[in-house]
Each structure stands twice: as structure tokens, then as C-alpha cells.
Structure 1
Amino acid sequence: MEVEQLKTFLAVAQLGSFQKVADQKFISQRTVSKQMVNLENELGVKLFFRGSNKISLTNAGTYFSQQVNELINQLNDSVVKLHDITNSNLQNLRVGYFSPFEGRLLVANIKKYQTTMVDQPINFHVSEASIEHLIADVTLGILDCAYILDYGTHEHLANTGLNSLKVAEGQMVLGISKDHPLAVKKSLSAEDLIGQTILYYSNENSTYLQSAFLATLPHDYSYNIQRIGTIEQLQTLVALKQAIAFYPESLPIFSNDWVIFRHLNSPAKHSSQSYTIQLIYRPDNNINGLHNFCQFLEKLNNN
């Protein structure tokens, strides 16, 4: 499928008529109809109910229109950013982050940089991805640097050849509903987690946090750990007592009056719940924007 074909599909979804779209695009009604038939054949699903006077979307068509609209918006945004990068005299820095928690820390760092380093301006371009994705993108040079959560016993940076700079540290905590029976405890044990649904956030398929968390727990038990793709859903399920979730404590946590946080007591023979946020980057990346940002973060952490 092609971008123009998808744009035609969105136009049909909005106008409800092949003829109106044809008039809008100065092409024949037959061309529009053929494009939509080809799209349905390619997808293997029916997108439209074809009435005598009105074209309407099937349930699959409605879902697909939402996804296509988001895709087209992202494409347009990328084109704008490409022009900004090409036309700007600023130093450009492509920065990735793992989750809204690291994202808020990144925003705070960027805002402070922009107010204190006015003589060395940087044009920041930010994106969110899984930790595995971020490491790969920095290694391949798709990103200049990334904020990642370094937690558990993983040695995921050991053989990448990437440099890392610690920008924050703290403890992982468990979020539970105030109505949960475990809420009366001041801290939780591994045994408390048996039989509980435990959630972690990642916007992409990723097992990093799952395996990192499991590495801190005794292997004598089994645990039900699941990924959630949105922070809002994670918070909602926790608040409704349907799950427990783990979070980085000292990063800004989304406000929720129904969720409280408890530390997890890890047995001495297992690793602790400590984490760090690392800025990772290639040692051979010599752009001034990265050099200036790293120097700024080092000074910020030493103060």
C-alpha cells in the first residue's frame, strides 16, 4: 500500500462518498473505487459498507482509519522535523527515552539546559522506545543518545561499546491500591507477590523490565508479570485493585489519589531494588550538541 492510497482512504472515510473524493482529488470515481478495492484485497478485510447513496466504515474500517490517521500525522511530523534539522543553525541532538518517567526527567534537564546554556543552544529531537530499541538505535547512530533505566542484574551495556553517564538514581517501588489488603504493610516481601498480577510499563514489546525484576526475586516461586502499553491503563488497573505495578521511586510519579507506594524487601542473596538512569551514547559521536549536553549533565549531577 502507498501513502497516497491511505490518504484517499481517509478522505473516503471522512466524506462517505467515492464521487466526492474523486471530485476533490480531480480523478475519476472509478479510480477511487478501484484503489479502495485493492486496499481491501491487500488487507484481506472489508473496510466499507457500500450503500446506494452513502459509503460507511465497517468496524475494521473504523479501527484502520484511526491507525492510518495516526500514521499520516507521524509522517507529516517527521517531514517537518527533517526540514527543521536541515534549515536550523542550532546544534541538533536526537535523544531517546524509555518511558514517561525518564521522559519527565529528560524534559527537566532540557529546560534547565535551555535556561542556563543560552550561549550553546541545542535543538532537541526526542522519541520514546523500549530499552532494547534505544540501545540498538544509539549503536547504529539513529539516535545520538538515550535515557535508559539500568536496573537489576542485566549486563546489557557490557558488550555494546557505548559510553554511559549516570543522570539519576533511586529505588524501585511497588504501587498498590489504598484498598488493597497489602496496603496495611509498610513494605512488601517476595511472598506477598505470589498470586498477584504485577505490571510494568513499556510502549513496545520488551522483556527487559520483566527479566530485571524477576532477577531480584527468589527463584523458588512463580510470578505473574505483564507488560502494559500505557501509563494511564497501568495506573487505572492499580487504582482499581486489579494489579500491582513497579515504578522508579525518585522520578516524578503520575499523581493518583488511589495509589500508594511500598518498598520491596529483597533477600540478601538477590540483587537490590536500586536503579540508575543512564545517558548512553557512542564514544565516537563528536557532535558539539552531545558534548555540550554531557558536560552540562555532569555539572548538574556534581552540584
Structure 2
Amino acid sequence: MTLFWRGKNKITLTPQGHLFLSSAQDIVNHYVSALTDLQQFNDTQHTLRVGYFSAFEQPLLQQPLFTLLKEVPDLSLTVTEGSNEHLTQSVRNGNLDLALSISYGKSAVETTSELVSQSLFESTMVMGVSTLNPLSQKAELLPEDLTERPILYYSPESSTFLLESFLASMSFLHDYDQIQRVSSAEQMHLLVALNQAFAFYPSGLMADNHQSADGQVRYLPMAGDVSQAYQIVALHNPGNANPMLKRLLAIMSSKKDA
């Protein structure tokens, strides 16, 4: 099929081209990431491969890995970012030792899955609203407040898992197209700050759970009995005998208890 039209000094994407562009970017990103991993790999007896799905989970992963690297300086570490589906499959097939995922509206893994899910953090999702929008002055939002703008979520790759999670947690939303994915946290914040969209944010994983550092976005809870609870979980295969995985899980567990 035709992906683009070539004109005089101009190339224009067809509708099919726009659809394919996101997947093509993912392919290139995975290729570059694989090359980087190969270049950084060193042949030691200690290796660990972990993944996460958004920048908001960085503190939950960074501090335990920092602690582990202090204990094991020669650790060969690979860290990747990807969609929940991609990360889960990578843990399942052995390409990753551990991945962070989210249980929000639906479980991170099916009850029949062979993977183990260890809870690392629990809180609630809040909605980001621009201070340019009068709704930002409210103490909480009603479902009918969210009809005037797209509602964004952040995932580095196309992810039906997160879309299904948000739809399950926001059952009052009936317009499937209102919920849209953006590929970076920076893009999401820009669109929200400029009052072009609302967006989901994980309360408890931000420096200030009331407003953004630039003061342009306020984070508001949903009113009523609309459940917005979520969990960040660490997924791993119980058959994985990597001692570095076992040590990382122990560090994560101790930090959660603390």
C-alpha cells in the first residue's frame, strides 16, 4: 500500500503512512536500544536486565539499582523502557529478569500467568488540569468536567493494556477516541499546561502531588466513588535463578517496608 505521496520538493504521508509511523519509530528505537546494550555489555558473571514503562516509576527502580550497584560494582546492567505488553512478554520469554508494571483498573498480569507480581507502591491516579482552565480551581473533578478535552496517557509504545486500564477505571467515559496516547511525558505535560488536554498522573510518584513544579498544572482527584487506586508492581519469573534478581527483589522489598 502507499505510505506517502512524493510531490515536487515535498513528501506527504498518506493516512496509512501516519498509522504506520508510530510502529516504525518503535522499530527504530528498539534497534538503537539493542545496539546500545551490546556496546555496553561486559562479560562478567553478574548480569541483570530490567525494564520499566514510564518516567514516573524511575525512583522506584533507580534507588534499588543504585544500592545493588554499590554492592556489586562489576554488575552488567541493562535497563529498557517499553509498553506493559512488551515488558511482560520479555520477562516471560527470559529477555528481561524483571519489569515494572501497573495494576490500574485491571491486573498487571492474568491470574493464570506464571509470572509473580510483587507490589512496590500504592496510591491513586489524579487528573492534570491547566491553571488556564477554570476547572483547576475546583477541589475535585466530576465526570462531566472531563468532556471538553482529550484525556492523555503516556506510554513509550502503542499500548492497548493502558488504554483498557484507563477505560476500566473511568467507566463513565463512553467516547473511546477521547482517551489518547502520547509517547513522552514531556509532550503530555506540554499539552496539559497549554490547556489542550487533561491527563492522568500517578499521585505519590511526583515531587508535588498538588501542582507541577512550574505551577502551570494542578493535580485534582475525581469526586464520588470513582475508584482511581493503582499499584506499581515488579514482575518476574519464579523460575529465574539469577542471584542478582533475587538480591534486587530483596532490596525493593526492604525499601517498601521502610
Using the size of structure 1 for normalisation, the TM-score is: 0.69
Distance 2:72 2:105 in 1: 39
Could you say what secondary structure the match of 2:141 adopts? Answer: strand
Residue deviations 1:231-283, cap 9 Å, x none? 1111110000000000111113674331111011253xx5x211111110001
Which residue in 2 is equivalent to 1:81?
40
Answering whether residue 217 of structure 2 is matched by residue 264 of structure 1, we say no
Identity of aligned residues (%): 32
Question: Any gaps of 5 or more consecutive residues in structure 1?
Answer: 1-42, 50-56
- Is 157-166 or 277-286 further displaced after alignment? 157-166
Could you say what secondary structure the match of 1:215 adopts? Answer: helix
Superposed, 1:44-55 pairs within 5 Å as none
Superposed, 1:36-75 pairs within 5 Å as 73-74=32-33
RMSD: 2.9
Question: Could you tell me which of 121, 133, 137 is aligned with 1:180?
Answer: 133
CA contact (8 A) 2:141 2:222 kept: yes
Which residue in 2 is equivalent to 1:40?
none
CA contact (8 A) 1:266 1:273 kept: no
CA change 1:178–1:192 in 2 (3 A) is same
Q: 1:75, CA displacement in angstroms?
A: 5.2
Which residue in 1 is equivalent to 2:86?
133
Which residue in 1 is equivalent to 2:190?
236
Could you say what secondary structure the match of 2:95 adopts? Answer: coil
Distance 2:110 2:74 in 1: 30
Residue deviations 1:173-207, cap 9 Å, x none? 11111111211111112221123210000111112
Which residue in 2 is equivalent to 1:39?
none
Distance 1:227 1:245 in 2: 10
Question: Any gaps of 5 or more consecutive residues in structure 2?
Answer: 13-20
Larger RCO (alpha carbons 8 Å, 6+ apart) = 2
Q: 1:120, CA displacement in angstroms?
A: 8.1
Highest CA radius of gyration, 1 or 2?
A: 1
CA change 1:119–1:112 in 2 (3 A) is closer
Using the size of structure 2 for normalisation, the TM-score is: 0.81
CA contact (8 A) 2:120 2:256 kept: yes
Distance 1:45 1:72 in 2: 27
Distance 1:79 1:220 in 2: 44
Which residue in 1 is equivalent to 2:15?
none
Matching residue's letter, 1:93:
L
Which residue in 1 is equivalent to 2:48?
93
Number of residue pairs the alignment of both structures matches: 238
Distance 2:95 2:182 in 1: 26
CA change 1:143–1:181 in 2 (3 A) is same
